[in-house]
Amino acid sequence: MSDSIHIVEVGPRDGLQNEKTPISVADRIAFVEALIGAGLKAVEVGAFVSPKAIPQMVGSAEVLRGVSHHTNCELPVLVPNEKGYEASQAAGAKLIAVFAAASESFSCANINCGIAESIERFKPVLARAKADGVRVRGYISTVLGCPYEGEIKPQAVVDVAKVLWDLGCYEISLGDTIGVGTPLKARQLLRAVAGHVPMANLAMHFHDTYGQALANLYAGMEEGCRAVDSAAGGLGGCPYAPGATGNVATEDVVYMLEGLGIGTGIDMEKLVAATNVVSGLIGRPPVSRVAAALNAKARAK
């Protein structure tokens, strides 16, 4: 496991959109700048979605424009439909993400339509992106469990992943949205999906509700997966899953990787500083164990 792991920082989008306290465009730009300054090479900056549905993402165009001078960093944005795609292009997005669910019930609760209809909605987005030379990342949520349907069979995830891959997504991020997965199930899922989408084009997006995220990531890395989504400070949650905590914390992932001898190029001190600022803005301490430990250490000096 000595080779590199690609970390996609999702705090400014997937993290903040699930936090009750919205923060300003200027503060979101400063957060992205701080994360890039800490050494992150892929930072999801916003979402071109309905302001009524997700008010936390209002101003994503301004955030993207505010950080677009960082040409050596991937700056993906979430796009749910053609209208969102057009807005993303007006703001200069070069990398977008679309999302689907492996659970029919979750899809209906989250975006008011079933899986098949959600795919129909973003088919024209993928077609236009291909014509425009815009890269597309695919998200699949509820891959290891659903708040409505319980356990999700790997085949349900495989079916959606195959469609996204065939439509042209360059990478497919597998999301344990409610954080119920365990290492064995994570391993079995990756094996199943890798039978149809190359392992090199899969990413792990694990939430830490039951404290299993790092163990699940380690199991996935043993299977050969080399891309991880994480959020500074463990930001986020899931509004449709009571008790679901945020994404696995970037600090905790970096600490584990560095301990395994896998260099990340990330400055932990700067990363924790970025986390502390955004945690102050949303009014709660970081969920990250590493940030909490380093903050306690700093206070004790």
The Cα–Cα gap between 95 and 43 comes to 11
Reduce the DSSP state of residue 198 to 3 states and report it.
coil
Q: How many residues does the chain have?
A: 301
Question: 39: phi > 0 → left, psi -120 to 50 → alpha, else beta; which?
Answer: left
- Round to whole Å and give the CA distance between 17 and 246: 11
Distance CA 109, CA 112 (A): 6
Beta carbons within 8 Å of 286's beta carbon, 6+ residues apart: 232, 233, 234, 249, 251, 275, 276, 279, 292, 295
Catalytic residues: 238
Buried b (16+ CB within 10 A) or exposed e, 147-156: beeeebebeb
What's the CA gap between 228 and 250, in Å, rounded?
A: 9
- For residue 259 the two structure tokens come to 């301990």
